[in-house]
Amino acid sequence: VQLQASGGGLVQAGDSLRLSCAPSERTFRSNAVGWFRQAPGKAREFVAATRWVSGATVYADSVKGRFAISRDNAKNTVYLQMNNLKPEDTAVYYCASSNGVTNSTIRLSRSYNLWGQGTQVTVSS
Q: Using one digit for the tens of pLDDT, what is the confidence trace for 45-64?
A: 999 999 988 889 999 999 99
What backbone phi and psi angles, to 5 degrees, belong to 32?
-155, 150
What backbone phi and psi angles, to 5 degrees, belong to 89?
-85, -5
Percent of residues, the chain, with pLDDT higher than 70:
100
| Residue 99 DSSP code | S
What per-residue confidence (pLDDT) applies to 37?
98
pLDDT band of 65, cuts 50, 70, 90 = very high
Tell me the mean pLDDT in the region 82-111.
96
CA–CA dist 60, 36 (Å, integer)? 10
Residue 27 has pLDDT above 80, yes or no: no
Residue 9 has pLDDT above 80, yes or no: yes
Secondary structure (3-state) at 88 = helix
Residue 77 has pLDDT above 80, yes or no: yes
- Asked if residues 123 and 11 have their Cβ atoms less than 8 Å apart, the reply is yes
CA–CA dist 14, 49 (Å, integer)? 23
CA–CA dist 37, 44 (Å, integer)? 5
